[in-house]
Amino acid sequence: MALVNLTNMLKKAREGKYAIPAYDVSDYRMARAVLDVAEEINSPVIFMGLKGDLNDDEFDCLSMTLVTLAKNAKVDVAIHLDHSQDFEMIKKAISEGYTSVMIDASQKPFAENVAITKEVVDYAHKYNVTVEAELGHVGDGIVGKSETNLSGDKGHEGTFTKVDELVKFIDETKVDCLAVAIGTSHGVYKGVPKLNLELMDELNKNSKVPLVMHGGSGTPEKDLLKSIELGMCKINIFSDILKGFFTGMKTFLNNTDNLSLWPSLAYKDAIEEMKKVIKEKYELFGCVGKN
Ligand SMILES: [Zn+2]
């Protein structure tokens, strides 16, 4: 049984100055690919379930898949609910074996974000489940629906995490880890994002808990490395592995006339390309051998 929560995993990452890539996985094949790579290089796994993949009985099916993989894994696996704004969904995730949840009330006023997060923390901690919240607001851009605009402009900075609020938020909510807004965005960047790394440094120095980056895909490597050096412990990745997956699939399908082939054959190149990206992130984030 290697199913664990995120708390200790992130504590070790913070002490060891590396980050754990956290992958949104939509189905068995994506999750299996992450686990295969992690077992090969002895790294911990963070599977994330995301709302778009959790409709109706998809929720139950994906939970069973992830829990089964975790229980049989050779490395530690945490199952994390990404970006939930719904307490009922959080309760369901916990009942189905998730060991970590994110409550995202980042678009609400500060006091409301505190109150909502605290309610989730009080509930989740009874089940030994880790809670991640978000303070400030990471730029939007839903994968597959829109492209995220270039961040780092003055308007965008209004949504960055404030140091005094971070201190107060952590004290009042007792949250376990915190997603901060320092200039990254979700989805696919149209330009090069401009991160406020001085702010990252200040936030980390004042934070009692490990910090989390959303919008890790497409962020320049030097900024990822500097963020990790400054204390970033969990970096969420989705768009980059999807790009690997569909690049492999497109190349394969464009080179075959047989569209009645066994699905596992059609997925083969896609999964290999995705695995390359998964491994690259583990290596870049200094997470190889850290299980
Ligand atoms: Zn996110």
pLDDT tens figures, 250-268: 999 999 999 999 999 999 9
Is the pLDDT at 150 greater than 90? The verdict is no
Furthest C-alpha separation in the chain: 60
The catalytically annotated residue of 24, 76, 82, 104 is 82
Is the pLDDT at 147 greater than 70? The verdict is no
Report residues near ion ligand 1: CB below 5 Å. Answer: 214
- Cα–ligand 1 centroid distance for 237 (angstroms): 9
Dist CA 184 CA 208 (whole Å): 22
Which long-range contacts link 67-71 to residues 24+ away (Cβ below 8 Å)? 67/3, 67/96, 67/97, 69/28, 69/31, 69/32, 69/35, 70/1, 70/2, 70/3, 70/45, 70/97, 71/1, 71/2, 71/3
- Cα–ligand 1 centroid distance for 260 (angstroms): 37
pLDDT tens figures, 158-184: 789 999 999 999 999 999 999 999 999
Query: Which residue's structure tokens are 């009985």?
Result: 57
pTM: 0.94
- Cα–ligand 1 centroid distance for 265 (angstroms): 32
Q: How confident is the model at residue 240 (pLDDT cuts 50, 70, 90)?
A: very high
Q: Which residue has the higher pLDDT, 174 or 151?
A: 174
- Cα–ligand 1 centroid distance for 271 (angstroms): 23
- Cα–ligand 1 centroid distance for 259 (angstroms): 35
- Cα–ligand 1 centroid distance for 46 (angstroms): 14
Q: Tell me if the domain spanning 6-284 has CATH number 3.40.30.10.
A: no
* DSSP-assigned letter for residue 101: E
Any idea what the Cα angle at residue 126 is, between residues 89 and 212, rounded to 5°?
A: 65
- Cα–ligand 1 centroid distance for 140 (angstroms): 8
The pLDDT value recorded for residue 148 is 47
The pLDDT value recorded for residue 161 is 97
Token digits for 210? 């490990």
Is the pLDDT at 145 greater than 50? The verdict is no
Which strand (E) or helix (H) includes residue 286? none
- Cα–ligand 1 centroid distance for 186 (angstroms): 6
The pLDDT value recorded for residue 1 is 55
Token digits for 286? 């200094």
* DSSP-assigned letter for residue 51: G
> Which of these ranges, 26-35, 80-89, 147-156, 157-166, has the smallest mean pLDDT?
147-156
The pLDDT value recorded for residue 158 is 78
Is the pLDDT at 4 greater than 80? The verdict is yes
User: Rounded to an integer, what is the distance from CA 72 to the centroid of its chain?
Assistant: 22
**Distances from the Cα of 25 to the Cαs of 73, 81, 197, 264, in angstroms?**
16, 11, 29, 17
Dist CA 187 CA 215 (whole Å): 7
Residues 241-248, mean pLDDT to the nearest whole number: 97
- Residue-averaged pLDDT of the chain: 93
- Cα–ligand 1 centroid distance for 84 (angstroms): 10
**Distances from the Cα of 242 to the Cαs of 6, 152, 217, in angstroms?**
24, 25, 10
- The end-to-end CA distance of the chain, in Å, is 14
Is the pLDDT at 244 greater than 90? The verdict is yes
Q: By CB neighbour count within 10 A (0-12 exposed, 13-18 middle, 19+ buried), where does 274 fall? A: buried
56 is catalytic: no
Is the pLDDT at 50 greater than 70? The verdict is yes
